[in-house]
Amino acid sequence: MFPEPIIFLGLPIHLFGLFLILGIVTSYLAVHREMARLKLPVDTLPDLSFAILTGAFLGARLLFILFHWGSYFTNPIGIFKVWTGGLVLYGGVLGGLIGGLIFCKKQKLPFAKFADVVAFGLPLGFGIGRLGCLAAGCCYGKPTASLWGIIFHNPLAIARPLEVSLHPTQIYSLISECFIFLILFYRRDKKTFSGEILLTFLLLETATRFGIEFFRAESHFATFLIAILIFAVSFICYIQLKNKNKGGIMKMKSAFKLAIPMAAIFFFAACGIISTQEMHRGHDIEHSDVNTIVKGRTTETEVVKVFGPPTKVRDTDQGKELFYEYEKTGGFKWNFVLSIGGGTVTKTLLVWLDKNGVVTDYAFKTT
């Protein structure tokens, strides 16, 4: 809804990153308070948080890049532009679990107990983070005629198409995270084995996300596959540990063994599907051409000569606004669970002119 950065003390502040940080801080405070309540060593939390956040960030970003490999193949510098959106929840969860497990193993801490406490605070952080998704326009929904649909107007928003009512999937996720937190809050003192809160969180998170995925515009088979696998492993571990709270490690290993054939079935069902359809819309916008624009010197005639007729033209109080958009969808793609190649590349260019037809400012974005 508000993809443009807010200028604070001369620095651009993106709402996506602001809500992301706010979510992390909120989760940290919730976990800190829960550790103090359970009399766990609170002094380990800063290092534990660093390990979890490092693993979560790397996992979430890596999975997003794999999902959108076609876009980043043509624009590799975009891999580092995290403030524009681009984190996958499941990648963050798995990466965070690995980071926390490594830390607990090195420090000889009971992983299950600490995992329960951390899982308790995660829904709060995830929910607040979804407000950042709403601001940037990422994780957007499919078109809808429902009364609660939302419309994105700003060309810099990631959501597409603009000026069309879309399912507010970011709000759906926020509501589901609040629901999950209330359940974990109720269960935290009623658990029967260490790790129950973590498994409950994984079960509820994957179940609700699986349902929301049907309303999202950009759904990937791999997302459904990962959700099913996490849910299946968590469910098997939960049932086995719930019925008999002994041999927990061995039972978790057997759960992962049961998940292997399930993964193989989905993998072979997805392999061999090749997509070669390709579609272009608008004139391609090259970085080198954008760099030729000089504020205060380049004229409207020169802009049109380089980029062609604009997609949209809007009169402003200061003069005029030219909007260019280029989109390429499809291309050669192998769907081996994680789609390699293909994808969608969108380039947008905004040029502002004064009343004399001279460029005063411009903004270029590739997603």
Per-residue pLDDT tens over the stretch 342-360:
556 788 888 999 999 999 9
Q: What is the pLDDT of residue 259?
A: 56
- Domains of the chain, by residue range, sit at 6-270, 275-366
SS3 352: strand
Average pLDDT taken over every residue of the chain: 79
In this prediction, what percent of the chain has a pLDDT beyond 70? 74
In this prediction, what percent of the chain has a pLDDT beyond 90? 29
Under the banding of pLDDT at 50, 70 and 90, the label for residue 340 is very low
In this predicted structure, which of 77-86, 141-150, 196-205 has the lowest mean pLDDT?
A: 77-86
Cα gap 132→320, rounded to integer Å: 30
- Summarize the confidence of residues 145-169 as an average pLDDT: 86
pLDDT at 304 over 80: yes
| H-helix or E-strand spanning residue 353 | strand 344-354
- Summarize the confidence of residues 5-33 as an average pLDDT: 82
- Summarize the confidence of residues 298-321 as an average pLDDT: 87
Under the banding of pLDDT at 50, 70 and 90, the label for residue 286 is confident
- Summarize the confidence of residues 129-143 as an average pLDDT: 87
SS3 269: helix
Under the banding of pLDDT at 50, 70 and 90, the label for residue 273 is very low
* pTM > 0.85: yes or no: no
Question: On the CB side of 276, how many CA atoms lie within 13 Å of its CA?
Answer: 2
Q: Please tell me the class of the 275-366 domain.
A: alpha beta
Higher pLDDT pick, 93 / 83: 93
Per-residue pLDDT tens over the stretch 184-228:
999 988 888 888 999 999 999 988 988 888 888 876 666 777 777
How does DSSP assign 270-307, residue by residue?
HTT-EE--EEEES----HHHHTT--TTT-BHHHHHHHH
Handedness of CA 128, 133, 134, 136 (dihedral sign): positive
Higher pLDDT pick, 178 / 84: 178
